[in-house]
Structure 1
Amino acid sequence: MRYPSGYVVRRTAITTLAAACLTISISTGARWLVGAEADAITIAVRLILPFAVGIPISLLIFTRFEQLNRSYREMLQKNAELSRRAMTDPLTGLLNRRSFIEQFELAQSIGVGGTFILADIDYLKQINDRYGHSVGDEAVLTASIALMRVLGDDALIARIGGDEFCAFVARIDGKNFDTLRRRVNEETMQEFRKRSGLGDYALSMTISQQRCRSGMSFKDMLVSTDKDLYRFKRNRPVHAPALDPAA
């Protein structure tokens, strides 16, 4: 048996006492006006009846009210969780593609300046083939952690594909971007070695950036930045050193 909560007991006591006082006052006043005298039984009934009726009814009403309130809060929490899931990538917790596009294009529409960054995990397919998809997932998680640590809380960061990420940050110049790219890759390498146990593997990301220009949509920025990204990728070795088939 579940006992009433403190909230229900307090509300029941207050309501019942108020109702009893009101009932007794009205009854006493009415008898006084008509000049009727009350005997002991009448007085006892006037005192007991409000509590006998009020307590169970109040308990029922306030218990039900509490249940409805609890159900409402649970519904709000579930809706918030569903909304969060609809906006985020399930593996990394970053924004998903749709949510990023909405927020990016809103920022563009109100004139918020910044830099569009595109990042791609190097050799993820080979990692999956060699070590399995669980290690590949660790590589994806590692990349997301590195981007969040380096870009900070003010950046919009999203996973937009299997091995692709994008971000929107405050404007940065070329020198600062080189520093940012180096820091991201240092974080990526160290975190992946710790998470995967592959101490000799230097996980890295190819990263490019474009300054956002007025009137450019997400698609425009993606196409423009993607060209630079694949130009950088063409300069990589065909195989990652630790995955070289000849090794």
Structure 2
Amino acid sequence: MLKIMLKACSVTVAVVAVSQVVSFATRYAAGQPFTLFVFLMNSILPVLTAFPAGLYVFWQTARLKRALAELRELHVKLEAKANRDQMTGFLNREAFFEQFKMARRWTDTGALALIDADHFKKINDTYGHLVGDEALKLIAGAIDRTTRELDIVGRIGGEEFCVFLPAASRDDAVQIAERIRIEVERLVFQPDDGKHYPLTISIGVALTRGHHLTSQLMRQADRCLYDAKGRGRNTVVVEDALAEMAERKTSETG
């Protein structure tokens, strides 16, 4: 409020100064004397009109600025709520794939990692869904700590996460995926009387190429994830590893 009053005072002083100069020039040009009464009137009338008007205008402007700031903050919150998974803070399914498609416009290379929590149904069935949610939060935290700042991370299903690694080579993708897997494996999860319950994940990684559609990449990553589950879980399988296995089987058959 003090700042508003100071602004109103500065405007009033300016109006008084302009009024005095104009009045003096007008009377001087007309050959009329510039008396004390004229000086007082040129001072008092602007104060009685300009100061209240300035005070009102600046007060309304400040209110409008506060309202706009609150509106912007609300918009940000609503946008975050619409695009973010409320439990993990990651992008939700729709927002993830939208950002994934946008990212592929500026890079033809990278890797798509599909992550699934191992034996998660057993946790929910044994300890309940609230405990299962705590396990998911721990896993999400591990993923968040081990991914890069430029990586796009989303929760695309109940216990399923997806990470796009822009411009990542095969070696980069393997290193990051292994980092995530190890970080989850090290988590301390004690749902029952302090007893440790091991948390693990399986990861399928598809290497992206410019001509691949999103649906194709997802199918490739899903096949790798299925293979990781078949290998006993807590495993990372990369797309070209499956291709090598298929080639070996073909050569052996031939």
Q: TM-score, normalised by structure 2?
A: 0.82
Pairing 1:110–2:106 present? yes
**Deviations 1:45-102 (Å, cap 9, x if unpaired)?**
2221111211111000010011111111211121122222222111111111112212
1:174 deviates by 5.7
Using a 3 Å threshold, how does the CA distance of structure 1 residues 114 and 221 change in structure 2: closer, same or farther? same
Matched AA of 1:110? W
Q: Do the aligned residues in 1 keep the contact of 2:146 with 2:176 (CA within 8 Å)? A: yes
1:204 corresponds to: 200
Pairing 1:186–2:162 present? no
Distance 1:120 1:64 in 2: 54
Gaps of 5+ in 2: 234-254
Q: Do the aligned residues in 1 keep the contact of 2:111 with 2:173 (CA within 8 Å)? A: no
Pairing 1:28–2:24 present? yes
Using a 3 Å threshold, how does the CA distance of structure 1 residues 109 and 134 change in structure 2: closer, same or farther? same
Matched AA of 1:56? P
Aligned sequence identity (%):
28
Query: CA RMSD for the aligned pairs?
Result: 2.3
1:147 corresponds to: 143
Using a 3 Å threshold, how does the CA distance of structure 1 residues 54 and 176 change in structure 2: closer, same or farther? closer
Q: 3-state DSSP class of the match of 2:112? A: strand
Structure 1 residues 105-114 or 218-227, which shifts more? 105-114
Distance 1:99 1:213 in 2: 21
Q: Do the aligned residues in 2 keep the contact of 1:138 with 1:192 (CA within 8 Å)? A: no
Structure 1 residues 31-40 or 12-21, which shifts more? 31-40
Distance 1:207 1:108 in 2: 21
Greater relative contact order, per chain length (Cα 8 Å cut-off, separation 6+): 1
2:213 corresponds to: 217
Out of 8, 11, 17, the residue aligned to residue 7 of structure 2 is: 11
Matched AA of 2:117? I
Gaps of 5+ in 1: 238-247
**Deviations 1:197-229 (Å, cap 9, x if unpaired)?**
754211011111011122222221111111121
1:195 deviates by 8.9
Distance 1:198 1:174 in 2: 38
Out of 59, 66, 69, the residue aligned to residue 63 of structure 1 is: 59
Q: Do the aligned residues in 2 keep the contact of 1:122 with 1:203 (CA within 8 Å)? A: yes
Distance 2:192 2:63 in 1: 47
Using a 3 Å threshold, how does the CA distance of structure 1 residues 71 and 164 change in structure 2: closer, same or farther? same
Using a 3 Å threshold, how does the CA distance of structure 1 residues 37 and 181 change in structure 2: closer, same or farther? closer
Q: Do the aligned residues in 2 keep the contact of 1:150 with 1:180 (CA within 8 Å)? A: yes
Pairing 1:173–2:178 present? no
Q: 3-state DSSP class of the match of 1:153? A: coil
Q: Do the aligned residues in 1 keep the contact of 2:135 with 2:189 (CA within 8 Å)? A: no
Out of 130, 135, 142, the residue aligned to residue 126 of structure 2 is: 130
